[in-house]
Amino acid sequence: ILKAVAAAALVTTIGLAAGPSFAQEKKFTIALIPGLTTDGFYITMRKGAQAAADALGVELVFQGAPDFNPVTQVPVLDAIIARAPDAILIAPTDTTQLIEPLRKANEAGIPVITVDTFIGTGSYQTGAGDADFPLAYIASDNVLGGRIAARALANAIGGEGKVFVSNVNPGISTTDQREEGFKLEMTENFPKVEVLETQFNKNDANNAASQLQAVFARNADLKGVFGANLFSALGSANGVQQAGQSGTIKVVAFDAPVSIVDNINSGLVDVAIAQHPAEIGYYGVVSAFAHLTGQSIPVSIGTGFTIMDKANIADPEISKYLYNE
Binding site for ligand T6T (CB under 6 A): 35, 39, 41-42, 116-117, 174, 229-231, 254-255, 275
Residues with Cβ within 8 Å of residue 11, at least 6 apart in sequence = none
**Nearest distance in Å: CB 280, ligand T6T:** 9
| Strand 87-90 versus strand 29-33 pairing type | parallel
Indicate the residue among 30 and 272 with the shorter CB distance to ligand T6T.
272
The DSSP secondary-structure symbol of 266 reads H
Residue closest to ligand T6T when measured from CB atoms: 230
Query: Three-class SS of residue 284?
Result: helix
Question: Please, what is the end-to-end C-alpha distance for the chain in angstroms?
Answer: 59
Indicate the residue among 94 and 185 with the shorter CB distance to ligand T6T.
94
**Nearest distance in Å: CB 107, ligand T6T:** 26
Indicate the residue among 35 and 111 with the shorter CB distance to ligand T6T.
35
**Nearest distance in Å: CB 322, ligand T6T:** 13
User: What string of DSSP letters covers 98-151?
Assistant: THHHHHHHHHTT--EEEESS-STTS--SSS-SSS--SSEEEEE-HHHHHHHHHH
**Nearest distance in Å: CB 216, ligand T6T:** 23
Indicate the residue among 35 and 284 with the shorter CB distance to ligand T6T.
35
- Nearest-Å Rg of the Cα atoms of the chain is 23
Indicate the residue among 50 and 303 with the shorter CB distance to ligand T6T.
303
Indicate the residue among 129 and 171 with the shorter CB distance to ligand T6T.
171
Indicate the residue among 117 and 287 with the shorter CB distance to ligand T6T.
117
**Nearest distance in Å: CB 166, ligand T6T:** 12
**Nearest distance in Å: CB 41, ligand T6T:** 4
Separation of alpha carbons 213 and 322, rounded Å: 27
Strand spans (E) along the chain: 29-33, 59-62, 87-90, 112-115, 136-140, 161-167, 193-195, 199-200, 222-227, 250-254, 271-275, 300-303, 305-309
Assess contact for 251 and 192: CB atoms under 8 A: no
**Nearest distance in Å: CB 198, ligand T6T:** 15
* Torsion over CA: 309, 303, 324, 198 (sign): negative
**Nearest distance in Å: CB 253, ligand T6T:** 10
Indicate the residue among 180 and 194 with the shorter CB distance to ligand T6T.
180
Separation of alpha carbons 307 and 286, rounded Å: 26
